[in-house]
Structure 1
Amino acid sequence: MRRFLGDTLSDKLEKVVSMDRFRSGRSLSPLRQAEAYWSALRTDEDVPLRSAIDPRGLENILPYAFILERIAPGIARFRLAGQHLTELTGMEVRGMPLTAMFTGAARAEVGAVLEHMFDTPAVAELDLIAERRFALSPLEARMVLLPLKSDFGDTSRALGVVVAEGELSKRTSHSFDVARSRLRNLCGEQTIPPVVEQETQGFAEEESEFQAAPHLRLVASRDEM
């Protein structure tokens, strides 16, 4: 985990923003610590660069942190992830899409949140609850997603933190539904993503009235005539 979030560019940083300057005892949650760190890296009220994220500045919350890369509209994959996320999902998530940890019913909303976060850009917060059949006891989680710029200047990366409360099942993975999602633009104002339309028809095609083909006709054989 020491190399988590690190790359050659971050190794060249002369100054590391430490999380210690933002902590007020242990009452500040990993989500708030991550956002405070992210805010300190902003210049001219803009989104921080991915290369500015240094693991030494996030050392005390590394198990809960992860980095996302936008790869398509509504889709972002894990580039790096902490141990807590592995325990939640029961698998190594690196290289997998963020939606892999959600139920099928929640994935459309997660995709809309991702698009809005990257395009606005905005800070996203999600309240999660484990699918009932996977949980030994009520398992809830909170997630924050903080947009980042790539070295090319496009907002296509994100720093994320997820923290769960409840008993984790070691025998199976946990799949989450979204209980609530909230987004704030860079000025701190609440913003709303596009309405997600649920597809309910599945693979069914529209029914059409059957009509006999006009060019077909019954031909009797000589034995029948």
Structure 2
Amino acid sequence: MHDDTDFAAPEADTKKAPTIKSVPTAHPDQNTVVQLEQKKPDYRFPEITKLEAYWAALRKGRLVPKRADVNPRGIESCLEYAFIAEEVAPGLARFRIAGMHLSELMGMDVRGMPVSSFFKANARTQLRDALKAAFEGPAIVKLDLTARGSFGNPHITGKLILLPLADETGAVTRVLGALVTIGPIGRGPRTFEILNSEVTPLEGHIQIDTLPHRTVEATAPKAQPKGKATRVPYLRVLDFDN
């Protein structure tokens, strides 16, 4: 699957200070003792668990899998929540590909938009730190989210995962991710605050200082025209490289 091809779509208390947990993981081939509470899956978000398992299977002994390894057929059950985002500056990323659930949350097509579009202003510093950790660590990042209720919009909770991917040069400039929410969406756009961040640094055969120099685009992404999201079997092709 290439960057300019979209996925094929198959038919709280916000004042609490967020915490950041760093959970080191060993190379997949090593035997490691891990505390059970660190690895206990969140059964409220099975799509997150499935996507992480798919990404882990793609590693095959490498620090991170390649972008070209990702095949939508392997994640059909969570395609509508999945996305691929590209780093455009340290701590900033934009959506290259996004499932329909993200468009429904935003009330418009999110391709080309910054990931920060889904977050309240007071959560964007935390998001920036999370994106930097994912790309520069590299690391697996999970965020527990909440969107306050208002007139016409119920309170919803959600979870976001960021899974690093290497580009054709070997540099970590992409993330495979998913944004899953619980409850009726209401009227978009729905924006979130971050309740908790979990950062899991990756270890493997490849050392970080041997990776190619990471280059990111300097141009800001252009938002897509606002309009009601519609379900279609295949999303449009959008090429940001030309």
Give TM-score scaled by structure 1 length.
Answer: 0.69
Quick one: which amino acid aligns to residue 183 of structure 1? V
Aligned to 1:98: 115
Aligned length: 166
Kindly report which structure 2 residues correspond to 1:74-93, keeping only aligned pairs within 5 A, or say none: 74-93=91-110
1:110 aligns with 2:112: no
Match for residue 6 of structure 2 among 4, 8, 11: 4
CA offsets 1:56-95 (integer angstroms, 9 cap, x no match): 1111211010000001011000000000111111121100
Match for residue 151 of structure 1 among 157, 161, 168: 168
Aligned to 2:89: 72
Larger Rg: 1
Unaligned runs of 5+ in 1: 7-25, 189-225
CA spacing shift, 1:181–1:151, aligned 2, 3 Å: same
SS class of match (1:41): helix
Match for residue 194 of structure 2 among 166, 172, 178: 178
CA offsets 1:145-189 (integer angstroms, 9 cap, x no match): 10000111100100001110012113x31011111111111259x
Aligned to 1:40: 57
Aligned to 1:138: 155
Cα distance in 2 between the residues matched to 1:157 and 1:82 = 16
CA spacing shift, 1:156–1:5, aligned 2, 3 Å: farther
Give TM-score scaled by structure 2 length.
Answer: 0.64
Identical columns (%): 40
- 4+ aligned runs moved over 4 Å, structure 1: none
CA spacing shift, 1:28–1:93, aligned 2, 3 Å: closer
Aligned to 1:19: none
Quick one: which amino acid aligns to residue 59 of structure 1? E
| 2:63–2:203 CA contact under 8 A, matched in 1 | no
Cα distance in 1 between the residues matched to 2:81 and 2:146 = 17
1:31 aligns with 2:48: yes
1:58 aligns with 2:75: yes
CA offsets 1:33-68 (integer angstroms, 9 cap, x no match): 001000000032410000000111111211010000
| 2:165–2:172 CA contact under 8 A, matched in 1 | yes
- Measured on the aligned residues, the alpha-carbon RMSD in Å equals 2.1
Quick one: which amino acid aligns to residue 185 of structure 1? P
Quick one: which amino acid aligns to residue 184 of structure 2? E
| 2:162–2:177 CA contact under 8 A, matched in 1 | yes
| 1:124–1:146 CA contact under 8 A, matched in 2 | yes
Structure having greater relative contact order (Cα 8 Å, sep ≥ 6): 2
CA spacing shift, 1:152–1:135, aligned 2, 3 Å: farther
| 1:134–1:173 CA contact under 8 A, matched in 2 | no
